[in-house]
Amino acid sequence: MENISIQVIARMHSDFATKFGIPRQSGLVEELRSTIVFEPEFRNPDALRGIEDFSHLWIIWQFSEAVRQGWSPTVRPPRLGGNTRMGVFATRSPFRPNNLGLSSVKLLGIEHTDKFGTVLHVGGADLMDGTPIFDIKPYIAYGDSHPEAKGGFTDTAGEFLLQVEFPAELLRILPEEKREAAIGVLSHDPRPSYQRKPGRVYGLTFAGFDIRFQVNGDVLTVEKVNKVQTDG
């Protein structure tokens, strides 16, 4: 088998310290804000010349938390309840031969910083904090958009949204600019498909806060919000 070397050009800085709660696809929670920070070798602003003329970008990245030896030709998509097997190439499972992910994000801005050089601020990303990025390409609507496309099993599975009850006194604990994104993440039901027990308390780490919640029926209720304590 031929091995090809590939370089990490950047890393994503996002509000997700763990995999739990990350939207299942990019663009589902448009309020999410993330920053692409380039590796020192690639902090040449000329490499981004003209990117400001595009509204959306493709990001090719690695499922760095899913790297393992070997691979399986079939996987169990969460969309199907985790019980039905599908071919790995007919899904977007992270457990793939090369563990590559592909996301479409909205380009919100370009900032020139002293510490990190030129960075890209993006919206709607579905990447964990620190995720390695291999390439960035502009999204070109006339070639990349296919409104007539069929979505296979995802067409029937749908994207069911929960009603989120977030008490005002708890919501105020979050920074104002993070509140809509947090509600959006919760509305997409961050629980694993195989762990959906009524009355169970779940914890979501988001933007440096631990958000505790329960789900009963189609209603998610936030019960507690605490600042995550960090060493030092």
Domains and CATH numbers, the chain: 10-144 (2.40.30.70), 160-227 (3.30.2310.20)
Q: What CA–CA distance (Å, rounded) separates 67 from 88?
A: 15
Higher pLDDT pick, 194 / 77 = 77
pLDDT value at residue 66: 67
Closest CA to 96 of 75, 124, 110, 119: 75
Q: Are 47 and 120 in contact (CB under 8 A)?
A: no
What is the torsion angle, in degrees rounded to the nearest 10, for the CA atoms of residue 57, residue 22, residue 31 and residue 25? Answer: 50
pLDDT value at residue 47: 97
Say if residue 187's pLDDT is above 80.
yes
pLDDT value at residue 228: 93
pLDDT value at residue 45: 94
Give the residue-averaged pLDDT of 14-39: 95
**pTM confidence score:** 0.92
Q: What CA–CA distance (Å, rounded) separates 104 from 215?
A: 30
- When pLDDT is cut at 50, 70 and 90, the band that residue 154 belongs to is confident
Extract long-range pairs of 94-99: CB within 8 Å, 24+ residues apart: 94/63, 94/65, 94/66, 95/63, 95/66, 95/68, 95/71, 96/63, 96/66, 96/71, 97/71, 99/62, 99/63, 99/64, 99/66, 99/67
Beta strand pairing call for 100-113 and 56-62? antiparallel
- Separation in Å, CA 120 to CA 55, 64, 174, 226: 12, 21, 24, 29
Say if residue 79's pLDDT is above 80.
no
pLDDT value at residue 83: 79
* Degrees, nearest 5: CA angle 229-181-185: 85
First to last CA, the chain: 46
Give the residue-averaged pLDDT of 22-30: 93
Say if residue 49's pLDDT is above 60.
yes
Q: Are 196 and 78 in contact (CB under 8 A)?
A: no
